[in-house]
């Protein structure tokens, strides 16, 4: 996690001021996130715990799928309102140089952006809420401490977005943590996280924010 945070902060200036190869960057990010999840799952398996403790229980019916999608949609709407009221308009956040440089441009980049968003939804929710938050709650014996500490680490992992962006991500992480703790599952959070990230690129384009 520390390496993840350092890497993002150290690369921020390069990303913001150099015309990066976005498709390659997206692919490398996906690889790194799946690698991180693999490390977590390997540890879970070595301790002979079921992978469902991190990934959530499998859906047993279409009604369960629909329920989680509905919860994810409601959560996304409420969290967007809270973030807009406390942090500011999404367009303001997207004006950050790093965020601007990372937004997709064209069909290929948009497709890879969606793939990266789905990857982030699955991997980051499993890592930060399915694993880290559960561990911190177990160690501290306090859900509040576990959720808050996991959210801080989650925000630090996005330090490349600058102070305001990291605080926004930290608050977002805390809300995802509350959702996972309430539902005792990361699946609604995975859906909401993936949709939120994918929608962010589309929203930036609709708002007329320059990309590329």
Domain boundaries, the chain: 2-51+65-206
Can you list the alpha helix ranges (DSSP code H) found in 103-161? 107-124, 134-140, 143-156
> Containing H/E element for 178?
helix 162-183
Residues 93-122 pLDDT 10s: 444 566 677 778 888 888 899 999 999 999
Instruction: Report pLDDT for 110.
Output: 86
Distances (CA, A) of 40 to 51, 54, 123, 127, 172: 10, 9, 10, 7, 22
For the chain, the straight-line distance linking the first and the last C-alpha, in angstroms and rounded, comes to: 29
| Tokens representing residue 194 in the block | 């993936």
Q: What is the pLDDT of residue 165?
A: 75
Q: Which residues, in sequence order, are CB contacts of 105 under 8 Å at separation 6+?
A: 22, 211, 212
Q: Is the pLDDT reported for residue 206 higher than 60?
A: no
> Chain centroid to CA 165: how far?
13
Residues 116 and 159: their CA atoms lie apart, in Å, by: 18
Across 78-103, average pLDDT = 67
pLDDT value at 57 more than 60: yes
Average pLDDT of the residues in 132-152: 95
Confidence of residue 90 (pLDDT cuts 50, 70, 90): very low
User: Which residue is associated with the tokens 């005792």?
Assistant: 184
Q: How far apart are CA 122 and CA 33, in angstroms?
A: 9
Supply the pTM of this predicted model.
0.84
Q: Tens digit of pLDDT for each residue in 161-172?
A: 767 777 888 999
Confidence category of residue 200, pLDDT binned at 50, 70, 90: confident
pLDDT band at 56 (very low <50, low <70, confident <90, very high): confident
Mean pLDDT value across the chain:
83
The two most distant CA atoms of the chain are separated, in Å, by: 50
Q: Give the pLDDT of residue 14.
A: 59
Comparing 196 with 210, the larger pLDDT belongs to 196
Task: State the pLDDT at residue 89.
Answer: 47
Which is more confident, 92 or 67?
A: 67
């Amino acid at each position: 996690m520390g390496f993840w945070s350092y890497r993002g902060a150290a690369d921020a200036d390069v990303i913001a001021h150099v015309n990066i190869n976005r498709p390659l960057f997206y692919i490398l990010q996906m690889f790194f996130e799946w690698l991180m999840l693999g490390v977590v799952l390997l540890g879970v398996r070595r301790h002979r715990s079921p992978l469902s403790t991190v990934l959530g229980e499998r859906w047993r019916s279409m009604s369960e799928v629909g329920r989680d999608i509905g919860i994810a949609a409601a959560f996304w709407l409420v969290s967007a309102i809270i973030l807009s009221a406390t942090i500011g308009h999404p367009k303001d956040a997207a004006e950050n140089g790093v965020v601007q440089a990372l937004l997709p441009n064209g069909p290929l980049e948009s497709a890879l952006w969606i793939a990266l968003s789905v990857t982030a939804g699955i991997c980051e929710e499993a890592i930060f809420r399915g694993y880290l938050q559960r561990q911190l709650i177990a160690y501290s014996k306090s859900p509040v401490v576990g959720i808050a500490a996991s959210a801080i680490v989650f925000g630090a992992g996005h330090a490349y977005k600058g102070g305001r962006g990291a605080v926004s991500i930290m608050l977002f992480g805390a809300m995802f943590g509350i959702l996972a703790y309430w539902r005792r599952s990361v699946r609604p959070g995975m859906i909401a996280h993936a949709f939120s990230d994918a929608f962010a690129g589309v929203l930036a384009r609709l708002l007329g924010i320059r990309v590329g």
